[in-house]
Chains A and B, each alone.
Chain A
Amino acid sequence: MIQSNESQSNTPTKPLLRVKGLKKYFTVSVPSKGFLTRRTNAVKAVDDVSFDIMPGDILGVVGESGCGKTTMARTILRAIDPTSGTVELTLGDHTVDIATLKASKLKPLRQKMQMIFQDPFSSLNPRMTVGDIIGEPLVIHKLARGSELKDRVVEILKKVGLAPEHAVRYPHAFSGGQRQRIGIARALIMNPALVVADEAVSALDVSVQAQVINLLQDLQEEFKLTYIFVAHDLSVVKHICDRVAVMYAGKIVEMAPTDEIFDDPLHPYTRALLSAIPLPDPDVPMRFALGGEVADPGALPGGCSFHPRCDKCEDECKEKIPSLREYRPGHLVACHRAGNTPL
């Protein structure tokens, strides 16, 4: 399904990224009955995902653990090969399909797409100085050396709120928030067009989380960056994103401008996710908590994957997989019951 986004026809620019029918299935071997024989099983980690992102936009991707967020991010950046689908990247008037591009053609494009990871502790090489870590991508792509390399490292260090003298220290001497800044500096030194932040602030304390969110926002404005911002925390997404895609069991089940997702969620799962956020106000008790367990993409039920946990479930939901449809301009939902009956 391709999104027919109205705003697109009004704006002359093409989307920076156009993902169409993206799938990533893993084959895993699992013990079958008796534990002596094994059979293979398809894990539909990403199952037919489509969306566009305009240059300078921030798309949030949310959903419970195991719903396929990281796999989707890695497939888009071609860190892993997709099972099928296309990922069109447009830079200037040049459009390429990342999903099928030959490795030799892919390499120069890699600099344009960067990823920031959740765990600032394990993603930094402990034996390299911070300056070497940040400058490494420039060295790998042979883009700078000597004093130019040094200057660019110092410049980006300042941009992310670190000091030039930090360049000679090792990662272990830095706090979690500072290490996340190092990861951001390393991603941004390449002047990327697309930045994928996978749970980039999830492991940080609130006060530091606020600093890093502000930094990501400032950098986005300054460099006109386009972000895919993956998070399981909806309140963080609300703060930074223009649009939000909600994923469940490998599929996007709802996608809309951020305000609409929060003010008028259509999918019962989106509503459940919203109501599960504990509000920092003792006078506003939690409204309703979703029952059941996080979906296992290796063993999905028939029909709508969400139906066993859904309190609006009817017979149709158990039989037919709902497609992602445009409920109103720019607001997409995959639910048989959205709009038919009051939810």
Chain B
Amino acid sequence: MSANNDIVLRVENLRTYFETDGGIVRAVDGVTFSVKRGKTLALVGESGCGKSVTAYSILRLIQKPGKIISGRIMLHADEQESIDILSLSEKSDELYDIRGGKVSMIFQEPMTALSPVHTVGNQICEAILLHQDVSRARAREIAIKALGDVGIPSPQKRIDIYPHEISGGMRQRVVIAMALVCRPQLLIADEPTTALDVTIQAQIIHLIKERQRDLSMAVMLITHDLGVVAQSADDVAVMYLGRIVEQADIRDLMKTPRHPYTMGLLKSLPSLSNRHKRLPSISGSVPSPAEIPTGCPFHPRCPYCVKGLCDTAAAPELTSLDSKHSVACLRANDSELKL
């Protein structure tokens, strides 16, 4: 397989803006990345940086006042011509085929994806019948197997319960079963464990990895938790104010980060060793996305900011340092910047 065949999704220069009373919110502002077959790309960053809007854009789920302004979203599904999702018309069969078929999405709150008035089994069967040409009876068999695959005990009995009859962790398992039942090429998981206890989070991370291996599926994992990233991702893209500021292989990103924002995020983690010392934190807070600072958007909070450069030059582009590591920082090659 050539390197290119490994790429399931390629997002190029995506811009998604919201027109609000307070001005234009550039929620996603020129984002480029790829997700590879069988691999996990983590999209990390603080709340409001544009992670969810990126995910919704990929599935064309952006609603007014939001609008995808520009970009390409190339989906390279198995044995098929690649499709630019942005070129598809709103009501086309291809788009319906992609949503929940070739590309599936799961959310932080499992009830976002579940209906409270239908049984778990009926909801999974609906998902199957929408994308596969099988009988109802066969769909039910597939659904039972899918529930078993995500670790739900005695699935043939549990298939007829309602979502409110089970715990949050079990619900997220059901959602995963439903998302994977059509064997998607790409799973987009938007904070899938944020609402769960750490113990249950560990089970769900493990489950997603296991199913990813079985289906050799690409995963785009959205999270703000660098612990979850370290335990699940192959590659990481760090977002700040709608842009990717650093992108690298997991080890490079965590051991030798090059962007001061990434360094700040890593340093502010409450560590298990530096007890009773002050936690280093990033000064200030994330500015409103309707008022993105001039120059490098991170400069007002950056400890390495150089007046007359970082606050005045054009916002830095994401530039590669080597084949596995890119950074958008005007001082990227300065040795003073280190963790």
Contact = CB atoms under 8 A, between A and B. Distances in A.
Contacts of A217: 278
Contacts of B227: 277-280
Contact of B201 (A235, A278, A283, A285): A278
Q: Is the interface of A mostly helix, strand, loop or mixed?
A: helix
A238 B270 contact: yes
Interface string A269-303: 00011011111111101100111011000000000
Contacts of B285: 175, 177-178, 208
Interface stretch (B72-80, B260-268, B328-336): B260-268
Interface string A118-157: 0000000000000000000000000000000000000000
| A275, A282, A285 pick with most chain B CB within 10 angstroms | A282
B266 A280 contact: yes
A235 B281 contact: no
B169 A285 contact: no
A207 B226 contact: no
Interface stretch (B55-63, B106-114, B202-210, B318-326): B202-210
Contacts of B278: 214, 217
Contacts of A213: 270, 279
Contacts of A278: 198, 201-202, 205, 225, 227-228, 230-231
Given A213-B279, A214-B281, A294-B169, A280 B254 contact: yes
Contacts of B266: 280
B1 interface: no
Interface in A242-294: 258-259, 262, 272-273, 275-283, 285-286, 289-291, 293-294
Given A280-B226, A280-B227, A293-B169, A238 B275 contact: yes
Contacts of A337: none
| B200, B250, B265, B279 pick with most chain A CB within 10 angstroms | B279
A341 to B, nearest CB: 24
A232 B231 CA distance: 19
Contacts of B281: 207-208, 210-211, 214
A262 B270 CA distance: 14
A294 B231 contact: no
A276 B198 contact: yes
B251 interface: yes
B286 A239 contact: no
Contact of A238 (B199, B272, B286): B272
Interface in A6-21: none
A176 B268 contact: no
A217 B281 CA distance: 14
Given A232-B198, A235-B269, A280-B227, A291 B203 contact: yes
A290 B251 CA distance: 27
B202 A289 contact: yes
A205 B45 CA distance: 9
A286 B231 contact: yes
Contact of A290 (B202, B228, B231): B202
B41 interface: no
Nearest to A205: B46
Contacts of B197: 64-65, 232, 294
Contacts of A233: 198, 270
B268 A289 contact: no
22 contacts: A64-B197, A65-B168, A206-B226, A206-B265, A206-B268, A207-B46, A207-B281, A208-B281, A213-B279, A214-B281, A233-B198, A234-B198, A277-B227, A278-B201, A278-B230, A280-B226, A282-B230, A282-B231, A282-B250, A289-B199, A289-B202, A289-B203
